[in-house]
A and B are shown apart, each in its own frame.
Chain A
Amino acid sequence: MDRVTNSMASRSVLADIENVYAQLTATQNELSSGKQLTKPSDNPYGTSRALAYRADLAANKQYQSNASEMGAWLSTTDTALSSINSDLGRVRDLILQGANGTLSPTELASISTELGQLADSIKSDANTQYAGSYVFSGSLTGTQPFAVGGADTYAGDSTAISRQLGQGVTMQVNVTGDTVVSPILAAIRQAQADLAAGGTPGNLGTVDLNAIDAAQATLVGQQAIVGARTNRVTLATSRLQQLEQAQSQQLSNTEDADIAQAMIDFSQQSAVYQAALRAGATLIQPTLMDYLHS
């Protein structure tokens, strides 16, 4: 039989107690921090997953913030377009009135004045801003697209502004004034000219009305596009929210401690630790000396 010596007993007792205590400390750490991953070596594979989930989650939150920005921009655009559309209804009525051919020059002049006011109202709608940017100016967001009471020249450009809606997904958010507003203004100005001439009511009822109808068709078309984009943003937002939930769940599964499991481990390890201490104390203390009497 092998000899068992005091130093061996002390070494084993100490090593065992240290072992159990290290486990106990680790579990305690897990419980107090609520994390099972506090450094990469705790679980290298889990850490790489956790880092990826964290990056995904941050990107997802950014996409949601982008989407909410885009939603607000689109809704501002849509409001302005609706307002322009209702003005157009009145423009159409006035032109039809002018085309009647029975009106006096004074009446024609007052129709023309109202058309001019409607043009200014349409311009002012086209000058709508979102967060300090003119939404119909293309990329020249600091420049007012139309001068109310001034010339009808479009001061913006036709650059499309896109935003990121998801990984690798971008979408145009803006509608430029030159496509939607300029044809309307041109039609109104033509009608005004025809009214002033007074003698060409035929043009009002045909060419001018057709021009207004064409401009309105373009406007409605753009409104439909804005509506479709709003839908895309809404859908993307709800998808991103679902994804965020899943990503948070996965991150939590990877990083967070299973508290119930940790509590059970803790009480088991605590019992083992106390048993090891008790056994160690009983084993190391006595020697034969305690029982020899001379």
Chain B
Amino acid sequence: MSISTFTGLETALRGLMAQQQALDVTGQNITNASTPGYTRQRVTLATTPGLQIGPGLLLGTGVTVTGYQRMRDSFLDTQLRAQTMLQGSAQAAQDGLGQIEGVINEPSDSGLNSLLSQYWSAWQNVANSPQDMATRQALVEAATSLADGFNSVASQLSTIQAQTGQNVTLTLQQVNSSAQTLQSLNTAIANATAAGNTPNDLLDQRDLVLDDLAKLGNVSSVDNGNGTITVTFDGVTLADPTGAYTLSESGGTISNNMATPQTAAVSANAGTLGGLIALRDTTIPGYQTSLDGIAGALIAETNAVSVNGFGLDSVNNRPFFGGTDAATISVLATPTTIAASASAATLPGDNTNALAIAQLQNAGVASLAGATVDGAYAQLVTTIGSDSQAAQRRTSNAGVLVDSLSNRRDAISSVSLDEEMTNLVKYQRGYQAAARALSAMDDALNLLINRTGRVGL
């Protein structure tokens, strides 16, 4: 069987076209080298079916592009998203706890620890000279500073808690807006897939949305086979082939707006959202309870002794502090009413009661599990410090893992400019060579068409 005169031209043309496409893909890779979420593409080349020109003789007919392969390992995506989620929750905890550390401001000369010391000292000074109005005034000032300190820490903790609640809402808005994006990408990818295309750029975009979502919560996706994916966020469906759902959160439980709404409890590890919810519902209330317990013990212990004593006006049965917790503690006593004396008959020099209150500094309190007021406060500060330090460590560990997994993913998916440069040279040379082959065919045909049959002319 003979072969067509122009077979060689066709072969060279296929070469030109294939190299051209390879150059185009290289260009696409280079221009997108720093595009977030971009996955490098590789042209897959294959030989075209051979031509049977005789028994056992199969003539090659050139090259064709069979596809643009998206270089991605979905297993690494899953691993990376799991770590990103942990990083998100640790980061949220770290940020919140950092703020709380700023509020308690310890160790310093202006924190509650110092204010407590000044308060106890002021009682001893009153015990030293119970008849002196100046020392009594100083005690009222010291106690007021202490009460203000408790009030201020309590109100700032509440503010941080409220801000954390707002951040939860903002985070959910972000998640819900991602759901819309996922839905439109699902539709576009399904249409392209149905038309037989591989929409690499849309797939990149959808993976990027999932990467971003993973920082906010526990994201998982299931491929439905037709190009669409079903995405669940913290255990409830966020997007599926039929649409996107709006998530809402209440008391640490997340739910979507399906006909039959799905609900799930959000774990503290579940990304920014989980971290924020844990901070809002567990961590901060825990600190508030401790602080309230300390303030409450101070109020109760001081008042229990104060009511036994007499002020300079010979009146007894008056509490020193008002309020019941850190937010409400206030000073009721005035310099005259401070109950320093044990009886009206022994005024003004008797300091028995003032001494008894001063000695409360070293008295264990049953409601604080036997700790002193100062000791319980130091414990609270240590707890906050340990929690904050643990969150910092978790953030930094997760950061290292995220970096390492990102590197592993980049080793597969990201663009190496050196590699693309090499490819550029390779495909350009390939193009040049194919063109040269075409020229050679052309020369041969020229000889055949223009010179054949012109012997002797």
Q: Which residues of A contact B (CB under 8 A)?
A: 2-8, 11-12, 15, 37, 39-45, 47-48, 50-52, 54-55, 58-59, 61-62, 65-66, 69, 131-133, 137-142, 157, 159, 161-164, 167-168, 170, 255, 287-289, 292
Contacts and interface: CB of A to CB of B under 8 A. Distances in A.
Interface in B111-156: 113-114, 116-118, 120-121, 124-125, 127-129, 131-132
A270 B76 CA distance: 36
Contacts of A161: 349-351
Interface in B14-70: 33-34
Given A44-B386, A132-B132, A139 B417 contact: no
B276 interface: no
Nearest to B424: A292
A157 B348 CA distance: 12
Contact of B411 (A3, A51, A62): A3
A77 to B, nearest CB: 14
B381 A288 contact: no
Contacts of A66: 124, 128
B389 A41 contact: yes
Interface stretch (B169-177, B241-249, B402-410): B402-410
A139 B346 contact: yes
A40 to B, nearest CB: 3
Contacts of A142: 131, 348-349
A142 B346 CA distance: 11
Given A40-B384, A47-B382, A4 B416 contact: yes
Given A139-B347, A288-B417, 16 more contacts: A3-B411, A3-B416, A3-B419, A7-B34, A8-B407, A48-B382, A51-B106, A51-B107, A55-B374, A62-B124, A65-B124, A133-B131, A139-B341, A141-B348, A170-B355, A288-B422
10 contacts: A7-B414, A11-B407, A44-B382, A47-B385, A48-B379, A48-B385, A140-B347, A162-B352, A170-B355, A287-B418
Nearest to A15: B403
A289 B418 CA distance: 8
A162 B351 CA distance: 7
A131 B129 CA distance: 9
B200 interface: no
B40 to A, nearest CB: 8
B97 interface: yes
Contact of A48 (B116, B128, B132, B378): B378
A251 to B, nearest CB: 9
Given A7-B34, A48-B378, A170-B355, A37 B421 contact: no
Contacts of A43: 385
B412 interface: yes
A45 B117 CA distance: 20
B183 to A, nearest CB: 29
A26 to B, nearest CB: 12
Contact of A54 (B113, B379, B418): B113
Contact of B355 (A44, A58, A162): A162
Contacts of B361: 59
Contacts of B379: 48
B313 interface: no
Interface of B: 33-34, 97-98, 101-102, 104, 106-107, 113-114, 116-118, 120-121, 124-125, 127-129, 131-132, 341, 345-352, 355, 358-359, 361-362, 374-375, 377-379, 381-386, 388-389, 392, 403, 406-408, 410-412, 414-419, 421-422, 425
B47 to A, nearest CB: 26
B410 A48 contact: no
Given A5-B416, A40-B382, A55 B113 contact: yes
Query: 8 closest A-B pairs (Cβ-Cβ)?
Result: A40-B385, A141-B349, A58-B117, A44-B385, A41-B388, A139-B346, A139-B350, A288-B421
A132 B348 CA distance: 12
B355 A132 contact: no
Contacts of B129: 69, 131, 133
B101 A40 contact: yes
B33 to A, nearest CB: 6
Contacts of B359: 164, 168
A40 B101 CA distance: 7
A164 B358 contact: yes
A160 to B, nearest CB: 9
B373 to A, nearest CB: 10
Nearest to B101: A39
Contact of A4 (B98, B118, B411): B411
B114 A54 contact: yes
